[in-house]
Structure 1
Amino acid sequence: MSQHPYKSLPDEAFWRRSVAAPAPADVDPVGEFELRITPDTRVATAGSCFAQHIARYLSRSGYNYYVTELGHPVLPEAVRKAHNYGLFSARYGNIYTARQLLQLWQRAFGLMSPTEDCWQEGEECFLDPFRPTTQPGGYVSRAELEADRSQHLAAVRRMFETLDVFVFTLGLTEAWRSIQDGAVFPLCPGTEGGTFDPARHEFYNQTVDDVIADMDQFITALLAVNPTAQVILTVSPVPLMATAEPGAHVLASTTYSKSVLRVAAETLRKRFAAVHYFPSYEIITGAFNRGAYYADDLRNVLESGVNHVMRLFMTHATGGVVAPVRQSGEDVIARQQRLSQELVDVECDEIALDPD
């Protein structure tokens, strides 16, 4: 029989052997993943709501989930949690798009100051347009908002300068931005604060070139101030809640958005030695699990899916070294039930787009 290149390929190169034949829990699409983290590695996270799973799992697994904005130490933990401290490595809330991440960097390093920087909702209710849901009830004055923003951006700057690994989950390509200066908002103005004005706000749907350019600029800037930093990119498997693309069906828009982000992530992985890709999107959406990792709404990811993703992440990223899990006085079963609920219960600003 003739020889050809496919004769010498490993099982993972063949659909039947690595996707169709194994039990769903045994499917491992990670491939080569050279980055290693240890319990001392400072791992920071940002991105869409799916990034919260990574943050919480790292923290519960005894690894160094790196947080630079902890909240005042006199505040009880429950209060800090209610005010979104620790949800991500700094209190920036969901960062859905590449442009939003680049903008955060620019603001933290004093390279950008958006014109529309405050939404007044009442006599004593002021919202940060770029973190509208982070402060429950808003700030009592513009001065309080600005003071907290200054502290927040300093924490972001410190995070970027001192982290070891930055995990960023790319979520969306669709965004709303200011016509005046191009600043992008995490949500359409008017959904969770502010007033939508077609004369001031416009829809913006990123292309592959847009995402690559934004991420290239961000990664280059990060490596300039933190040369040893490593970046892990993932793509969120959570479909769009709604699409603003004219004439488009939300399913088609979801496919477009995730395709753009996946292509961009692969391009960046090949462009930068410091960039790594982890296939959480493929694990959750892969045909091998027959949709079993989604809830009945076909959008929220179930605990079983998160566990599959994080089991493979910890196996490949740690080289199989398991850190001691932080124990509490809780009954083991009760603790697991609580942890399972926390893993599924994430803060997702995008849900405001379809409140009914």
Structure 2
Amino acid sequence: MAIEVIPAEQAWATYRRNTLARWPTREQPDRLSPLAAPQARQVFGLTGSERVFCIGSCFAREIENALVALGFDVLSVMREFPRSPNRQRSDRGMLNKYNTATILNELRWAFGEGPAYRHEDVLVGLPGDTLLQDLQLSGPWYAEEPVHAHAFRDAFNAFFRRIAEADVVVLTLGLSEVWKDAATGLYLNHAPTEAMVAAWPGRFSLHVLDAQETLAQLEAIDALLGRHLRPGWRLLLTVSPVPLWSTFRDQDVLLANTYSKAVLRTCAEQFTVGRPHVSYFPSYEFVTLSEPALVWREDDFRHVDPRFVDLIMASVMAQYGLGGGAPAKLLADSRDRVLRRAPGAGQAVGWRARWQRWLYRLGRWRRDRRTAQAARLAARQVQGHVERWDGRWLTGWAFDPQSARPVPVQLWLDGELVAERPAADERADVAQAHGPAALHSGFRLDLDALLPASRRPGAELVVQAGPLRLKTLSLGEAPVGPLDARQAGA
């Protein structure tokens, strides 16, 4: 079915009037090389005073940073979340929503439509395990004890309800490979672990969404926002240029990523037709059509360099005419910063070009040296993970890439060393992921046997592998009850 039917007279009139209708040539490459400058149709205006809420993949966090720098009131910037001794890195990644299905889940819970949010549906733990994973957020990366997992989720739900205060919602579409939990009927934001798949055969499945289902989810998101946001709200829609990190399909990830982005871009185009409150901005096209050396961060080929994100947002601001003449200067300055990453891509000539090229190479050499030093340091560091804890047995792995000797796993109870055991059990799965040095890296500790019987309820237990703190646990709290039939996949 056609998304638009345009009479021939109108189509030809549009072609003659549209200065952007023809593909750039090598004689006039400015709009394409080295920096693409795609122009999307502007269907509504902005003043710069709007309150903004960003939803989507990791690229949405980059958009947030750029909008904050431009002076917008960004409601989705994370503030004051409950801390846990186990989360040593930033919680911003917890907000990443990679697919339309789980964005729809969060909105339904936030606005109280459909089945109510329940911890027992969302926070998943293996049978007998007291560490819970939120597969609607970041899954095993933030496995937590129930008290911390529940506190974070309650705070996150309250935080997400702030979207009702937004004037503008920025929705970034990420990927089309989505996992589903048959026990709860929920699509997931993170893949279930192999241990979960083994514990509950048939419970989880991978869904490769098509355009029809993705579009239906977008329409449901739009309807929810329309019912609960204030009149005059607007939606800025974009497709994340960040490619898939990996695929679970039996094909090259390069092909899987092309399919995923094609579906999302198709749905974005179809969704905007006939919706005057929705505007598409072409961050995906900015990235994919520009010179790669100017786009990607220097540590990978997936994440967009912050200077390029600034260029994208400056282009959006210039298109919407925010701030009088300032956006034009902002856009020019942003282009200059990006072009300085690769002298010779711009128009500089002579001694100035040679000087810039020398500075660029010097800076690149320094960055490469720092990266190599960091890699060597990381290679010398102990690696490990606590996988399970059922109140008695503590299971995990730890190894030192620079030593064949087992890493000592220490238990510190309220700051006092009470036990030490080597991580020496054979773990073929860890060796497969981390190399031969990790073959004898497993440990399984009986806390009843190792900890003093006189330990106080709620005592803090720190699990340490050499110099690496693996986990901080609280002892003596009420155990997690058995999974109900629905959660267990019955």
- Does TM-score exceed 0.5, indicating one fold? yes
Q: Which residue of 2 aligns with 1:41?
A: 50
Structure 2 residue 134 is the aligned partner of structure 1 residue 132: no
* Matched position secondary structure for 1:105: helix
Higher Rg: 2
Q: Which amino acid in structure 2 is aligned with residue 257 of structure 1?
A: S
Q: Does the Cα contact within 8 Å between 1:43 and 1:163 map onto a contact in 2?
A: yes
Q: Is the deviation greater in 9-18 or in 263-272?
A: 9-18
In the alignment, the residues of structure 2 paired with residue 202 and residue 304 of structure 1 have an alpha-carbon distance, to the nearest angstrom, of 38
In the alignment, the residues of structure 2 paired with residue 72 and residue 177 of structure 1 have an alpha-carbon distance, to the nearest angstrom, of 28
In the alignment, the residues of structure 1 paired with residue 314 and residue 267 of structure 2 have an alpha-carbon distance, to the nearest angstrom, of 25
1:233-252 mapped onto 2 (5 Å cutoff): 233-245=237-249, 247-252=250-255
* Matched position secondary structure for 1:13: coil
* Matched position secondary structure for 2:169: strand
TM-aligned CA deviation for residue 42 of structure 1: 0.4
* Matched position secondary structure for 2:95: coil
TM-aligned CA deviation for residue 198 of structure 1: 4.0
TM-aligned CA deviation for residue 320 of structure 1: 4.7
TM-aligned CA deviation for residue 81 of structure 1: 9.7
Q: Which residue of 1 aligns with 2:104?
A: 102
Sequence identity, in percent? 26
* Matched position secondary structure for 2:295: coil
Q: Does the Cα contact within 8 Å between 1:212 and 1:268 map onto a contact in 2?
A: yes
Q: Which residue of 2 aligns with 1:326?
A: none
In the alignment, the residues of structure 2 paired with residue 10 and residue 19 of structure 1 have an alpha-carbon distance, to the nearest angstrom, of 19
Structure 2 residue 171 is the aligned partner of structure 1 residue 168: yes
Q: Does the Cα contact within 8 Å between 1:116 and 1:129 map onto a contact in 2?
A: no
Q: Which residue of 2 aligns with 1:313?
A: 316
| Structure (1/2) with the larger strand percentage | 2
Gaps of 5+ in 1: 324-340, 342-353
Q: Does the Cα contact within 8 Å between 2:239 and 2:261 map onto a contact in 1?
A: yes
Post-superposition CA distance 1:186-242 (Å, at most 9, x none):
111117x95664421100111101111001011111101113221111101111111
TM-aligned CA deviation for residue 13 of structure 1: 1.0
Structure 2 residue 16 is the aligned partner of structure 1 residue 14: no
In the alignment, the residues of structure 2 paired with residue 7 and residue 33 of structure 1 have an alpha-carbon distance, to the nearest angstrom, of 18
In the alignment, the residues of structure 2 paired with residue 19 and residue 305 of structure 1 have an alpha-carbon distance, to the nearest angstrom, of 25
* Matched position secondary structure for 2:73: coil
In the alignment, the residues of structure 1 paired with residue 69 and residue 16 of structure 2 have an alpha-carbon distance, to the nearest angstrom, of 41
Post-superposition CA distance 1:315-348 (Å, at most 9, x none):
224535459xxxxxxxxxxxxxxxxx9xxxxxxx
In the alignment, the residues of structure 1 paired with residue 134 and residue 190 of structure 2 have an alpha-carbon distance, to the nearest angstrom, of 12
Q: Which residue of 2 aligns with 1:289?
A: 291
In the alignment, the residues of structure 2 paired with residue 317 and residue 293 of structure 1 have an alpha-carbon distance, to the nearest angstrom, of 23
> Which of 206, 229, 254 lines up with 2:257 in the alignment?
254
> Which of 242, 261, 266 lines up with 1:263 in the alignment?
266
Structure 2 residue 124 is the aligned partner of structure 1 residue 119: yes
TM-aligned CA deviation for residue 307 of structure 1: 3.1
TM-score normalised by structure 1 residue count: 0.75
Structure 2 residue 53 is the aligned partner of structure 1 residue 53: no
Structure 2 residue 181 is the aligned partner of structure 1 residue 178: yes
In the alignment, the residues of structure 1 paired with residue 166 and residue 224 of structure 2 have an alpha-carbon distance, to the nearest angstrom, of 14
TM-aligned CA deviation for residue 355 of structure 1: 7.5
* Matched position secondary structure for 1:96: coil
Q: Which amino acid in structure 1 is aligned with residue 70 of structure 2?
A: S
Q: Is the deviation greater in 263-272 or in 9-18?
A: 9-18
In the alignment, the residues of structure 1 paired with residue 312 and residue 108 of structure 2 have an alpha-carbon distance, to the nearest angstrom, of 31
In the alignment, the residues of structure 2 paired with residue 43 and residue 105 of structure 1 have an alpha-carbon distance, to the nearest angstrom, of 16
TM-score normalised by structure 2 residue count: 0.56
TM-aligned CA deviation for residue 102 of structure 1: 0.6
In the alignment, the residues of structure 2 paired with residue 315 and residue 69 of structure 1 have an alpha-carbon distance, to the nearest angstrom, of 27
* Matched position secondary structure for 1:95: coil
Structure 2 residue 208 is the aligned partner of structure 1 residue 202: no
Structure with the bigger RCO (C-alpha within 8 Å, sep 6+) is 1
In the alignment, the residues of structure 1 paired with residue 24 and residue 67 of structure 2 have an alpha-carbon distance, to the nearest angstrom, of 33
In the alignment, the residues of structure 1 paired with residue 27 and residue 156 of structure 2 have an alpha-carbon distance, to the nearest angstrom, of 44
Q: Does the Cα contact within 8 Å between 1:119 and 1:194 map onto a contact in 2?
A: no
* Matched position secondary structure for 2:184: coil
Q: Does the Cα contact within 8 Å between 2:295 and 2:308 map onto a contact in 1?
A: yes
Q: Does the Cα contact within 8 Å between 1:100 and 1:186 map onto a contact in 2?
A: yes
